[in-house]
Amino acid sequence: MQLANITTRPPHLVQALEALAQRADYRAAADTLLDELSGITVLVAKRYTNDKTAEGLQEAYHLTVGCISLGISQAELPDTDESKLSFLLHHGAEYVFQMGFRHIKELSALPYVAFISEFDNDSFVQQRNLKALFYEICRADPSATWAADDVYRRELASRRENQRFVECARWLRKQHYAGPIKDSDLDANAVIAIAVIFGIAGDGRIVARTGQKDIESLISRTRKTPPDIEAAWGKLLEHIPVEFQPLLRERMDEYRDTIIKKILSRSKAKTVITEIQDFYAGNELDVEYP
């Protein structure tokens, strides 16, 4: 029988401290670390929790443990306690905390979903998001098992992906056939979907936004003279920068047998339009019926 392979480990800071306890002469280093760690805890309490209550300090203590552990975990060290310790002592707890906190900041600057709204530029919202992320990833109980570095890595990967969608969508908006689209809200998935769907027309135009009327005319045009979809998409891709091409190709593979088939099929135009509106064009559909 195959057993699940579960490794449990304490936060990296705790691992480093365990290595310190093994050293023959740890007094001076321990004293310095203690000073630094308690100093950091107070600063965290002042800024994020509450430095006047025991709960606030306890919370700040957990946040400190987690943030320093995150700093150590992302430094690409050999996986030994000793190397974590030397890293910590070499840089000092404060700098390692700073590293951890910068990771959180970096993460917080990336979009949580592939949807940008004007609230995302509000500094209050940004601070709130930073705090929420700091709490979510950095709260670590030193006596419990710790896996926040994995959480961080997954979150970073998913947000980077979102960021790619957003960048691609921004580029598409700029190239919109009827002139660049300026809107503080951006539904990146919808922009890409619209571009791919309208790409089947084969006229090489980049469409980043649409209205119901445009969808109707696309359907009637393509039903009248079925286009060579692969050729049309190839033409579209010619205009797209290399870095965004894989992203669009993915969408094309996804749509080829789903929505595109429906557009060309004999199902009622109204059903198809509704589906595009509901599942593809999302917030990038002009509501007015001109």
Distances in Å between the alpha carbon of 11 and those of 33, 34, 164, 170? 16, 17, 31, 40
Q: Which residue lies nearer to another protein by CB, 31 or 183?
A: 31
Distance CA 226, CA 207 (A): 19
Q: Which residue lies nearer to another protein by CB, 36 or 59?
A: 36
Q: Which residue lies nearer to another protein by CB, 94 or 136?
A: 94
Question: Which spans of this chain sit near another protein (rule: CB under 8 A)?
Answer: 31-32, 35-36, 39-40, 43, 47, 92, 94-95, 97-98, 101
Smallest distance from another protein to CB 67, Å: 9
Smallest distance from another protein to CB 119, Å: 23
Structure tokens at 32: 């310095």
In one-letter notation, the amino acid at residue 246 is: P
Smallest distance from another protein to CB 120, Å: 21
Q: Which residue lies nearer to another protein by CB, 126 or 283?
A: 126
Q: Which residue lies nearer to another protein by CB, 101 or 280?
A: 101
Strands 210-211 and 186-187: unpaired
Q: What is the CA radius of gyration of the chain?
A: 26
Distance CA 19, CA 22 (A): 5
Tell me the β-bridge partners of 211. Answer: 286
Smallest distance from another protein to CB 43, Å: 6
Residue whose entry in the numeric block shows the structure tokens 């109204």 = 270
Q: Which residue lies nearer to another protein by CB, 9 or 105?
A: 105
CB atoms inside a 10 Å sphere around CB 7: 6
Q: Which residue lies nearer to another protein by CB, 61 or 97?
A: 97
Structure tokens at 244: 């965004």
Q: Is 41 exposed, middle or buried (0-12, 13-18, 19+ CB in 10 A)?
A: buried
Q: Considering only CA atoms, which of 45, 50, 76 is closest in space to residue 63?
A: 45
The CA-CA-CA angle for residues 53, 99, 9, to 5°, reads 75
Q: Considering only CA atoms, which of 170, 163, 146 is closest in space to residue 109?
A: 163
Q: Considering only CA atoms, which of 142, 23, 27 is closest in space to residue 86?
A: 23
Smallest distance from another protein to CB 218, Å: 51
Q: Which residue lies nearer to another protein by CB, 16 or 33?
A: 33
Smallest distance from another protein to CB 39, Å: 6
Smallest distance from another protein to CB 71, Å: 10
Smallest distance from another protein to CB 30, Å: 13
